[in-house]
Structure 1
Amino acid sequence: MSNNPYKSKPAKAFWRPAVAERHFADMEELWQPLQLKKEHKVATAGSCFAQHIGNNLARRGANFIDMEPAPPLFDTESEARRWGFGVFSCRYGNIYTTRQLIQLFDEAFGERIPAERVWEKQGRYFDALRPGIEPVGQDTAEAVLMLRERHLAKVREMFATLDLFVFTLGLTEGWELVEDGTMFPMAPGTIAGTFEVEKYCFHNLRHAEIAKDLRGVWERLKAINPDARMLLTVSPVPLTATATDNHVLPATFYSKSVLRGVAGEMADDYEDVTYFPSYEIISTHPYGGMFFNPDKRTVNQFGVNHVMSHFFSGPLAEEFQLRITSVKESEPDLVCDEEELEQALD
């Protein structure tokens, strides 16, 4: 008769000793920290929550890549961030879906030209693929395209030179151009542009599509940067709104569950891909929702600090000199295009 295969498992594999009998602050070994040194070039992209990892890495002395730093004309960091500077490693704004990510990669390396790149609003022109980065837009469509070419050159350089790419998966839902499938970060007509039902369609990406996109990005990245690694997280922030016919609560958990599934498979299948459970730490029931603000959506500073205490554990704690942060310690305000959807309630 064979031995019970669970006999050799450590305590962290069992719910009672690992969760039920522990205070939330005493949970440990929630992930296996990757090896990262201060000299490694780290780039971030993704949904709003990705900004927390970038901010905290930079604060602790990591070599955080900022390919498009703010020009000196801004008086404050907050003002510069409002224009998309210092938010992510390049000025691409929120990349909520894997479809946006792979299309950006292909465009940066000359493999794709979106059929629609400029939106207009009240006589001003905006980059349709990153409409939230310039609050007042440009004078001409040509100016938008010129700035986009400069941006793509920086994106190309970022992917070619980074050591670690941190990507936070945020949404499965997106709006795309019927003509060629270009997916936008926001629906036309929310920040800029005009929604036309025959021109744009809603697309709720499925597991197989997301997996194909993310694997495609990974294969492309390794082809031009063989030593690159990737760290995946899933944003714990619920949807602001859903374009499905479902209630926003189950729509949120559909999105997050699918994204979590893909991220886990990527980490299992590729040696150089790691998953960090920020979603589980913030969202699951052992924490009782204590990490959310009264809106039950945005994550409070206490929650952010708790997530970072797990992130900077093991070898990362030693390398980046982890210190206990105060709940009063604040970070720059997050830049989140999705919050524009709240205007639809007015």
Structure 2
Amino acid sequence: MQNTPSSPYRDKSKEAFWKSGVVDVHLGKEVFSGLHQINLATQNPRISSIGSCFAQHVGNWLNAGGYLFNQSKIESNQVSSFAFGNLYTPKCLLQWFDIAEPESGIDKSSAIYSDGNRFYDLLRPNFKPAGFGSEASLIGARIEAVTEMIETIAVTDVLIFTLGLTEAWKDCNNLFYPSCPGVISGVFDNSLYSFYNFGYEEICANLKDIATRLKAINPNIKIILTVSPVPLTATATDNHVLIANQYSKSILRSVAGYLTSNDSDFDYFPSYEIITVPCSEDFRFESNRRSVTTSAVNYVMRHFESVLSVLEEPNITQDTQQKDENSQVPISDNDEVVCEEEMLEATRKLQDKPIEHPLLALTLFGDSHMGKLSTSFNKLNIPHSGGMVMNGSAFTQNKFALCDTEYFVPLENAASRKLWSVILDNLKKHEVHQASNKSIIISNVGMQTHQNIARFVAWLNKIYPAKKPVITVNVLVDFFNDELSEQLSILFQLHNNGHKVIVVSDPPFCKYFKESESMTNLIYSYFDAMEYIWNQFGVTFYNAARVFDEEIKDPELYISNTIHEDGRSDWYHGNSRYYTWLAEKLIKLTQ
């Protein structure tokens, strides 16, 4: 073998080699050393974030970690520094700077949709989903948002911009939209809107322009670029979505790399690489292989902690690892990240399967239990409208607005409003045809015991700080009045308008799991109190838990075997066999 004493790789550190730099790092447990070259001049910086939905994960983690995160005072429904929602392309952010400048030439009354009664902002399709009362108030709200943007930038030390997509939609005036009109808000018209796929040079130029605008407001601001690891939900190109996604992410990553190497205004943080590096036992994506898991977010942010701590290289110690485990942010159904992309699939299903009948007698709405029940009804060939509208956490956290004409407006995300609009259309047809007495609604709004029992305990500690009372129906009814009145009023109003409402309890499976068995008596008391409330108003309450206990001799065959990523069992759902049993029971009540 030839003796080669000199090699350009001879003096490289271990981070330069795949084996020592990647393979030898225990993904999820250890952090990569030497992964970035970001050095912040400011200790405890004030941080703002903007961009795709992954930016909300970043904001959640920063908030939970006690860092100085700038939260928009206008947009309180999302973890966001600005009242713009998700902006997937640099061009969409750049347009907001143009709106802020009177001489920019941009028409401030453009990108507005009106249904004849309300006005909707297509530049912020997820903001004010119920719309504005006038065009003037909508434009005024835009001005308020850009004013807040300028004020926030002025006090920001670090801006994290997460690049999400290259694919976009624009109108005849070259105004770009954060989502295709008609998907979340508005109506799609191919004579007005066209697809556009940004190229390398355009994205690079737009980011340079953004840096110039930012520095004009705050010369000391630090810009950190990241690329979202979340894949496209769908592509408008003619390519397979896998090819389109790789193209999009490659362009964004190339631009970020070039700017970081050639422009001192930019730094790069490798969220994309940390999430997408091959892993034999992958913990980073949910089962849909798109949604980033809680563990993955925390793992990325462990690396980012070295940026905020102004450390040259992160040191892995037992104490550090223990601190991370204790400070992880649980992002489950009680901490939803708002992401319009995630709802495109649900929207597609609605478009593929519109309501074909003028009236459907049976309607379902509620949380995931109603979605599973809908699946069972479909298997039993029982025609119905609806199913899941929002996550249980969205109902318990009041992520909706009561509305006289629409009962309520879901605020969890765009898809929830799409799902409810289909249900509402069916209900309104009953009312218009004076056939409400033939309309049957099955719902579990007000249940959500996996969330509401914890809320009840917190309420109990607040109301009775000295001595806790005996838990009676009356105590639970007081809790319902204080904490659940808005949720229950939705069903009460439907009942008053002539619809037959059946409220169904959660399943009984808490008693079969060690982690939840201690709550069994309280959960069953909750069901009893809810049954008492609804009986007072003439609403049918179906206590599925008690009926199941009385009838089923082999409950283990109906239990969900799902284990969440944090090791918790899914004690609050049943399996498909349970929902088929429940569907057969409920259909008898409707006949």
Could you tell me how far 1:123 is from its partner in structure 2?
3.4
- Aligned positions of 1:318-333 closer than 5 A: 323-325=323-325, 329-331=329-331, 332-333=335-336
What SS does the corresponding residue of 2:40 show, helix, strand or coil?
coil
Q: Work out the CA distance in 1 between the residues paired with 2:24 and 2:146.
A: 51
The answer to whether residue 302 in structure 2 is matched with residue 309 in structure 1 is yes
Instruction: Pick one of 81, 99, 102 that aligns with 1:89.
Output: 81
What is aligned with 2:197? Answer: 204
- Aligned positions of 1:1-346 closer than 5 A: 3-24=6-27, 25-29=29-33, 30-35=35-40, 37=42, 39-69=44-74, 80-81=76-77, 84=78, 87-110=79-102, 111-114=104-107, 116-121=110-115, 123-179=117-173, 181-286=174-279, 289-313=282-306, 316=309, 323-325=323-325, 329-331=329-331, 332-342=335-345, 343-346=347-350
User: Structure 1: which 5+ residue stretches go unaligned?
Assistant: 71-79
What SS does the corresponding residue of 2:9 show, helix, strand or coil?
helix
Aligned-pair Cα RMSD in Å: 2.4
Residues 288 and 36 of structure 1, relative CA distance in 2, 3 Å threshold: farther
Is the 2:234–2:241 contact (alpha carbons within 8 Å) kept by the matching residues of 1? yes
What SS does the corresponding residue of 2:201 show, helix, strand or coil?
helix
Letter in structure 2 aligned against 1:209? E
Could you tell me how far 1:31 is from its partner in structure 2?
2.0
Q: Work out the CA distance in 1 between the residues paired with 2:283 and 2:37.
A: 25
Q: Work out the CA distance in 1 between the residues paired with 2:159 and 2:30.
A: 29
Letter in structure 1 aligned against 2:89? T
Could you tell me how far 1:324 is from its partner in structure 2?
1.1
Is the 1:33–1:313 contact (alpha carbons within 8 Å) kept by the matching residues of 2? no
Q: Which entry has the higher C-alpha Rg, 1 or 2?
A: 2
What SS does the corresponding residue of 1:246 show, helix, strand or coil?
coil
Could you tell me how far 1:300 is from its partner in structure 2?
0.9
Could you tell me how far 1:287 is from its partner in structure 2?
6.0
Could you tell me how far 1:32 is from its partner in structure 2?
3.0
Could you tell me how far 1:283 is from its partner in structure 2?
1.6
Q: Greater relative contact order (Cα 8 A, min sep 6): structure 1 or 2?
A: 1
TM-score of the two chains, using structure 2 as the length reference: 0.53
Q: Work out the CA distance in 1 between the residues paired with 2:327 and 2:154.
A: 37
Q: Work out the CA distance in 2 between the residues paired with 1:287 and 1:124.
A: 52
Q: Work out the CA distance in 1 between the residues paired with 2:12 and 2:116.
A: 63
Is the 1:126–1:138 contact (alpha carbons within 8 Å) kept by the matching residues of 2? yes
Letter in structure 2 aligned against 1:50? A
What percentage of residue pairs aligned between the two structures are identical?
A: 38
Q: Work out the CA distance in 1 between the residues paired with 2:97 and 2:308.
A: 31
Is the 1:233–1:263 contact (alpha carbons within 8 Å) kept by the matching residues of 2? yes
Q: Work out the CA distance in 2 between the residues paired with 1:217 and 1:314.
A: 23
Is the 2:25–2:32 contact (alpha carbons within 8 Å) kept by the matching residues of 1? no
Between stretches 24-33 and 57-66, larger displacement belongs to: 24-33
Q: Work out the CA distance in 1 between the residues paired with 2:64 and 2:337.
A: 16
Could you tell me how far 1:225 is from its partner in structure 2?
1.7
TM-score of the two chains, using structure 1 as the length reference: 0.88
String of CA shifts for 1:200-258, please: whole Å, max 9, x gaps.
Answer: 11001011111111111112222332111101111000111111111111111111111
Letter in structure 2 aligned against 1:344? R
Letter in structure 1 aligned against 2:196? H
Is the 1:33–1:315 contact (alpha carbons within 8 Å) kept by the matching residues of 2? no
Is the 2:170–2:177 contact (alpha carbons within 8 Å) kept by the matching residues of 1? yes
String of CA shifts for 1:120-160, please: whole Å, max 9, x gaps.
Answer: 34732211111112221122222211111111111122223
User: Structure 2: which 5+ residue stretches go unaligned?
Assistant: 312-318, 351-591
Could you tell me how far 1:36 is from its partner in structure 2?
6.2
Q: Work out the CA distance in 2 between the residues paired with 1:31 and 1:272.
A: 15
Is the 2:158–2:221 contact (alpha carbons within 8 Å) kept by the matching residues of 1? yes
